[in-house]
Amino acid sequence: MKIVIDGMGGDNAPMAPVEGACMAVKEYGVDIVITGDKDQLEAELAKHDCDKSKIEIVHTTQIITNDEKPVAAIRRKTDSSMVVALNMVKNKEADAMVSAGSTGALLSGGVFVIKRIKGISRPCICTAIPTMDGGVSLLSDTGANVDCNGQQLVDFAAMSNIYAKRVMKIDNPRIALANIGTEEGKGNELLKTTYDLLKDRKDMNFIGNMETREILNGVCDVVICDGFIGNVIVKTLEGTVLSLFKKMKETIMSSTKAKIGALLMKDSLKGLKDSLDYSSHGGAPFLGVEGGLIKAHGSSDARAIKNAIRQAIQFVDGNVVEEIRAYISSDKENEDK
């Protein structure tokens, strides 16, 4: 198996991608390709002790930044670290790709370079939300599609169901529809239509509507919504967690008594922080394209990149693309009957 990493993507590139690759080689023994400026990548690689025979550097001359228009950047910067990596997946020179670079450009590249799986009109990006019971809920879609129809949301549910089974190792994932109430008939026309389509599916464990305040309680394994709502949910949760930890730190530093109490609770507080840390869950898979594509957080450190590589390995081992193709084939057969 070979995983390609966008070596120039992300706030901490090229340091984090290179160190993360070295950590992955040590822990997983996987072969890795890093795309980017050869001189910078080799200088970073020289700082780390790992089996360098398992890491290949492919030189590129361009970088796609967050302030560029995604589609234009993908089409214009064909020798960027991101596009070269995307083409390696397209041409089967790598099994999956990890990038912490521009989300918009990566998703555009997934559609225009790697291409959609035939029968999937809209791929979706899925974000793992840490829950209070120590698990995660997979939120799909979190930004790839602002506007959707009911069948597209059903496809998101089916692809996420496959991912939850094959990568997250959940036997019978509980799938819920994000809504303003739990009763059948709640929500706008899109949600009502989607509910009606999902409730009749025998291949998915649809448990009905769910109010978004329940996501952190772990009441389901997969939450389905359009990309606009999903992106709002993710950013609201992320901002809330960051604000809470900032306030906790201010409170702890406010008095000697609070500092002593925090010292006594140090291990518990660290455990809480780790359980809500995105880096422990890797990245967000882009489901519905002809290859493994994992979007790591833009501020990913080496540990987060390493975990995103682990996720890419599990994606490939789980035959997720093949399973999605089988889902499309099965659905078409049912329609023809």
DSSP string spanning 47-97?
TS-S-GGGEEEEE--B---TTS-HHHHHHH-TTBHHHHHHHHHHTTSSSEE
The domain boundary, picked from 255, 278, 301, lies at 278
Residues 184 and 105 reside in one and the same domain: no
Query: Is 80 found in the same domain as 191?
Result: no
- Domain co-membership, 218 together with 140: yes
CA 282, CA 295: separation in Å to the nearest integer?
9
Count of all residues that appear for the chain in the document: 337
Read off the pTM: 0.88
Instruction: Clarify whether residues 257 and 145 are in a common domain.
Output: yes
Does residue 154 sit within a domain? yes
Domain match, 212 and 90 both: no
Whether residue 317 sits in one domain with residue 244:
no
Residues 301, 168, single domain; the answer is: no
Return the structure tokens found at 188.
Answer: 């706008």
The answer to whether the Cα torsion of 198, 200, 206, 211 is positive or negative is positive
Residue ranges in the chain whose pLDDT is less than 70: 262, 264-281, 331-337
Return the bridge partners of 293, or none. 97
Residue 264 lies in a domain: yes
| 240 and 132 share one domain | yes
Q: Are 52 and 177 part of one and the same domain?
A: no
Residue 67, classed as helix, strand or coil, is: coil
In a domain, 329, yes or no: no
Asked whether residue 101 falls in the same domain as residue 132, the answer is no
Specify the pLDDT at position 130: 85
Q: Would residue 335 count as lying in a domain? A: no
The pLDDT value given to residue 153: 96
Whether residue 78 lies inside any domain: the answer is yes
- Assess whether 32 and 135 both reside in one domain: no
Confirm whether 330 is domain-assigned: no
Give the model's pLDDT for residue 245: 72
Instruction: Give the tokens for residue 276.
Output: 């809500």
107 domain-assigned: yes
Structure token digits, residue 44: 């970073």
pLDDT at 11: 94
pLDDT computed for residue 243 by the predictor: 83
According to the model, what pLDDT value does residue 278 have?
A: 54
CB 64 within 8 A of CB 77: yes
Q: Which amino acid is at 308?
A: A
Give, to the nearest 10 degrees, the angle between helix 266-275 and helix 256-264.
70
**Per-residue pLDDT, 276:** 57
Which structural domain range is residue 30 located in? 2-120+288-323
Q: Is residue 337, in this structure, part of any structural domain at all?
A: no
3-state secondary structure of 51: coil
**Total number of domains constituting the chain:** 2
C-beta neighbour count of 112 within 10 angstroms: 16
Please tell me whether residues 35 and 161 are part of one structural domain. Answer: no
Distance CA 325, CA 323 (A): 5
CATH number (domain holding residue 49): 3.40.718.10
